[in-house]
Amino acid sequence: MALSQLASSSPSRSVNLLKPLLSAISLHRPISTDTTPITVETSVPFTAHQCEAPSRTVQTNAQELLNFFRDMAVMRRMEIAADSLYKAKLIRGFCHLYDGQEAVAVGMEAALTKKDCIITSYRDHCTFVGRDGTLLEVFAELMGRQAGCSKGKGGSMHFYKKDSNFYGGHGIVGAQVPLGCGLAFAQKYCKDEAVTFALYGDGAANQGQLFEALNISALWNLPAILVCENNHYGMGTAEWRAAKSPAYYKRGDYAPGLKVDGMDALAVKQACAFAKEHALKNGPIILEMDTYRYHGHSMSDPGSTYRTRDEITGVRQERDPIERIRKLILLHDLATEKELKDIEKEVRKEVDDAIAQAKENPVPEPSKLFSDVYAKGLGVESFGADRKEVRATLA
């Protein structure tokens, strides 16, 4: 009962009288940082393959739930805004939106530290934000401006943030999984005691290189966690048409797997924490996040030719990740409806400000075309006395 905690010990009768006063105060009250544990049960139990499923009861607290809400609101708003920007032709090329799947990004972050690595494919805007990427970097990169995280040279599919161990951002389906296993190898080599989460989709799950990489990771006992974000459609192809065995968590065969309700941020958090602990001791594990994307595969895909609008609205009504957290917050009285709406308004403003700032940002200089093709030099003195530069530019 957060409200009553703030009010001086007033009998319950006078709460009603105090409510207008309190609501005035509440506008200035900061987001609850209450860390008393709240126990929540996930709506769907975990299904396990070759391992013991973690418990359905998740420990959380007010601060975490409100952070989830806020972060997911930011992500949702950002993706919707990107949709408008794309239609306004400020974002070009490919733009793959993540709305609907936010719970995976926030739940994962809650279970990890910044020492753990995350690598994903092209649907990376929200994962980037989860890894402390700023909205300005996102919108500037999407619009091809200098302030973008890749200086405008990567685009929607190439977001990277080295200082928070976010390794992108990859356009070729499935190619990021061997890279992710390489990251896990480096972590084992350097004895980092950290893990790598390599994310891929249900479409990429049919790539051979996944199984190759999983095999090597299992042989070398690498702390790699392969996360299949199963949104049930590989672009326009439904999973039952693409995979003989759509039980992606079982596909690892010798590697244990866990199927998780990917629309429930707390379930995701529980599963990721479990997986991290497992991978550090026993090698690779597969997580299948049962999730859904509201948009089509990308902005050029309406998303309705291969699935019904009823299905989309159905999922939105029943399983929307933000609504879930909202209900949970309201149930435990951690904030009022109005406060949550205020948060959303604030988020909207934040996103709009970032877009405005990004629009002002200049495009990269023409000379930047040739920068960062190669890293400079060998790092050792190896040249003779009069070594000249190569004349022709082959950068």
Partner 1 sequence: MAAIFQGVGAAAALSSLPSNSFDSNKSVFSPRRSFSVRKGASFAVVRSDGTVNLNPKGRRTQQLIPNAVATKADSAAASSSSKPGHELLLFEALLEGLEEEMERDPRVCVMGEDVGHYGGSYKVTKGLAKKFGDLRVLDTPIAENSFTGMGIGAAMTGLRPVVEGMNMGFLLLAFNQISNNCGMLHYTSGGQFTIPIVIRGPGGVGRQLGAEHSQRLESYFQSIPGIQMVACSTPYNAKGLMKAAIRSENPVILFEHVLLYNLKERIPDEDYICNLEEAEMVRPGEHVTILTYSRMRYHVMQAAKTLVNKGYDPEVIDIRSLKPFDLYTIGNSVKKTHRVLIVEECMRTGGIGASLTAAITENFNDYLDAPIVCLSSQDVPTPYAGTLEEVTVVQPAQIVTAVEQLCQ
> What residue ranges bind partner 1 (CB under 8 A)?
117, 119, 148-155, 158, 160-162, 167-172, 175, 177-183, 185-191, 208-209, 212-213, 215-216, 219-220, 371-384, 387-392, 394-395
3-state secondary structure of 91: coil
Q: Which two tokens stand for residue 283?
A: 């090698």
Taking the least distance from each CB to partner 1, the nearer of 220 and 306 is 220
Minimum Å gap between C-beta 247 and partner 1 is 22
Q: What CA–CA distance (Å, rounded) separates 362 from 37? A: 47
Minimum Å gap between C-beta 220 and partner 1 is 7
Minimum Å gap between C-beta 154 and partner 1 is 4
Minimum Å gap between C-beta 95 and partner 1 is 16
Residue closest to 201 by CA, chosen among 238, 156, 170, 232: 232
Taking the least distance from each CB to partner 1, the nearer of 41 and 372 is 372
Helix axes 337-360, 135-142, angle to 10 degrees: 50
Taking the least distance from each CB to partner 1, the nearer of 153 and 348 is 153
Minimum Å gap between C-beta 222 and partner 1 is 9
Taking the least distance from each CB to partner 1, the nearer of 35 and 371 is 371
Q: Which two tokens stand for residue 64?
A: 């975490």
Minimum Å gap between C-beta 46 and partner 1 is 28
Q: What CA–CA distance (Å, rounded) separates 274 from 270? A: 6
Q: CA angle 105-108-112, nearest 5°?
A: 135
Cα–Cα distances in Å, from 345 out to 171, 244, 338, 340? 33, 45, 10, 9
Taking the least distance from each CB to partner 1, the nearer of 159 and 294 is 159
Taking the least distance from each CB to partner 1, the nearer of 23 and 209 is 209
Q: What CA–CA distance (Å, rounded) separates 142 from 154? A: 9
Residue closest to 264 by CA, chosen among 43, 47, 77: 43
Minimum Å gap between C-beta 126 and partner 1 is 18
Taking the least distance from each CB to partner 1, the nearer of 100 and 168 is 168
In angstroms, how far is CA 174 from the centroid of its own chain?
Answer: 17
Taking the least distance from each CB to partner 1, the nearer of 153 and 232 is 153
Q: Which two tokens stand for residue 317?
A: 């009504």
Taking the least distance from each CB to partner 1, the nearer of 44 and 186 is 186
Taking the least distance from each CB to partner 1, the nearer of 106 and 177 is 177
Minimum Å gap between C-beta 88 and partner 1 is 25
- Residue pair 156/141 in contact (Cβ under 8 Å)? The answer is yes
Residue ranges of E strands in the chain: 37-41, 47-49, 57-61, 117-119, 196-201, 224-230, 233-234, 237-238, 257-261, 285-290
Q: First vs last Cα of the chain: how many Å apart?
A: 63
Task: Round the CA-based radius of gyration of the chain to a whole number and report it.
Answer: 23
- Full DSSP string of 309-367: HHHHHHHHHHH-HHHHHHHHHHHTTSS-HHHHHHHHHHHHHHHHHHHHHHHHSPPPPGG
Minimum Å gap between C-beta 296 and partner 1 is 24
